[in-house]
Amino acid sequence: MNINIGNFKIIITENYEEMSKKASDMVISQVIIKPDSNLGLATGGTPVGMYKEIIRNYELDRVDFSKVKSFNLDEYYPISRDNNQSYTYYMNTNLFNHINILKENIHIPNSETNNVIEECENYDKMMEDCGGIDLQILGIGNNGHIGFNEPDTYFEARTHLADLNKETIEANSRYFEKKEDVPKKALSMGIGSIMKAKKIVLLASGESKAKAVEKMIFGKIEPGVPASILQLHEDVIIILDKEAASLIINKK
C-alpha cells in the first residue's frame, strides 16, 4: 500500500523481507541511473536485509559499485575499527566485503581519531567536496533519533560527537554482552548534513518503532523528535512493515 502524507511518500509492506527488497531496489536504481552516486548509509538491525538483497543483486551482475562513494551516518566513539561492534566492522561484513566498492571511496567517521573536532569538520567537508549525498538511507531509533542525533532542545546541524541517551544505550545493549559495554558516545552526521541529501529513504520495522514513526509523520517538528524534521525535506520515501505502520494506518 502506498500513501502520501505531507511531503512523505509512504510504502507499507507486508513484512521485513518486502521492506528490505523495496529499499534495495531504490539503492540499485539510484546506482544504475547515476553510477558515481554518493550513498549515505546506515547501520543497525533494520538495514541488514536490504544489504543482503543488494549483495544478491550484485552477484547477479545487476549493479556496479566501482564508481560509488559511501558515507556512513555514524560510528561509536571511541572504539577500535577492528572491534566487532564497530560500525566499520558491521559495514565490511554486511556489505562492503561482498561488493566492488573501492576502499578509498568508503567513508565512516574515524572512531580512533585523537582530534574529534578536526574529524567532524573533515567529514562534512568531504561530503560537500564530492557534491553531497544523492541517496541517504536512514533507520529510526525508538526515541525518534536519526543517525545518533538524539532528542534534544535544538537540532545539531553538523557532524559532531554525540552523547547517547539512556534509551539508545538500552536499545543497543542487545548487540553487546553487557549493557556496560555499550559505548556512551558516537560521531554522527548532523541533521543539516542529513537534510542536504537529495533523496532520503527511511526504513522502519517492528512494533517498537510504531510510536516514533507516528510522531515523525504527524507530530510537531521539534528537536525532541529529531526525525520530525524530515517533514521539511522534499523527497523522503518511508518504507515500513505493517507493525511499524500500525499507528498510522487508520490515522490517515
The catalytic residue positions are 74, 143, 145, 150
- Strand 69-72 to strand 135-138: parallel, antiparallel, or no bridges (unpaired)? unpaired
Looking at beta carbons, which residue is closest to ligand GLP?
139
Query: Of 44 and 109, which CB lies nearer to ligand GLP in the complex structure?
Result: 44
User: Residue 46: which residues within 8 A CB-CB, separation 6 or more?
Assistant: 139, 203, 204, 205
Give me the count of residues in the chain.
252
Q: What is the distance, to the nearest Å, from the Cα of residue 88 to the centroid of all Cα atoms in its chain? A: 14
* Residue 70 interacts with ligand GLP (CB under 6 A): yes or no: no
Query: Of 119 and 141, which CB lies nearer to ligand GLP in the complex structure?
Result: 141
The total of other beta-carbon atoms located within 10 Å of residue 6's CB is 12
Taking contact as CB under 6 A, which single stretch among the options 25-33, 39-47, 109-117, 240-248 is the one that binds ligand GLP?
39-47
List the interface residues with ligand GLP, window 119-158 (CB under 6 A).
Answer: 139-141, 147-148
Contact residue for ligand GLP among 40, 44, 49, 109 (CB under 6 A): 44
Residue 159, exposed/middle/buried by CB under 10 A (0-12, 13-18, 19+)? buried
Please tell me the count of residues contacting ligand GLP according to CB under 6 A: 14
Phi, psi dihedral angles at 242 (to 5 degrees):
-55, -40
Query: Of 63 and 72, which CB lies nearer to ligand GLP in the complex structure?
Result: 72
Contact residue for ligand GLP among 46, 110, 136, 246 (CB under 6 A): 46
Distance CA 93, CA 87 (A): 10
Query: Of 8 and 77, which CB lies nearer to ligand GLP in the complex structure?
Result: 77
Q: Which residues bind ligand GLP (CB under 6 A)?
A: 42-46, 73-74, 139-141, 147-148, 168, 172
